Amino acid sequence: MNTFLFAWNPEKWNWTHLEQSIEELEQTGRVKEMWSCASHKSIKVGDRAFLVKLGKKPTGIIAAGFVATEPFLAKHWSGEDKMVPRVIVDFEVLLNPQNEPILSIDLLKQGKLSEQHWTPQQSGISIRSEVVDELEALWFDFLTTQKIRHNPFIPTDNETQKTYTEGTPNQVIILP
Give the residue-averaged pLDDT of 86-112. Answer: 96
pTM of the model: 0.85
Indicate the average pLDDT of the chain.
89
- Look at strands 48-53 and 3-8 and give their pairing: parallel
* Listed residue (118, 7, 12, 116) closest to 63, CA to CA: 7
Question: Is 167 among the domain residues?
Answer: no
The parent domain of residue 134 ranges over 3-161
Buried b vs exposed e over 45-57: b needs ≥16 C-beta within 10 Å? bebbbbbbbbeee
Q: What is the pLDDT of residue 12?
A: 92
Q: What is the pLDDT of residue 161?
A: 43
Integer Cα distance of 113 and 127 in angstroms: 10
List pLDDT tens digits, range 100-149: 999 999 999 999 999 999 999 999 999 999 999 999 999 999 999 998 87
Question: Is 120 among the domain residues?
Answer: yes
Integer Cα distance of 4 and 16 in angstroms: 24
Cα angle 127, 54, 64 (rounded to 5 degrees) comes to 50
Q: What is the pLDDT of residue 172?
A: 57
Question: Is 169 among the domain residues?
Answer: no
The total of structural domains in the chain comes to 1
Question: Is 75 among the domain residues?
Answer: yes
160 has a pLDDT exceeding 50: no
167 has a pLDDT exceeding 80: no
* Listed residue (40, 18, 33) closest to 122, CA to CA: 40
List pLDDT tens digits, range 34-63: 999 988 889 999 999 999 999 999 999 999
Q: What is the pLDDT of residue 8?
A: 97
Integer Cα distance of 13 and 35 in angstroms: 12
CATH number of 106's domain: 3.10.590.10
Cα angle 121, 127, 133 (rounded to 5 degrees) comes to 145
Integer Cα distance of 122 and 118 in angstroms: 11
Question: Is 173 among the domain residues?
Answer: no
Spatial contact of 62 and 105, defined as CB atoms under 8 Å apart: no
Question: Is 143 among the domain residues?
Answer: yes
Question: Is 142 among the domain residues?
Answer: yes
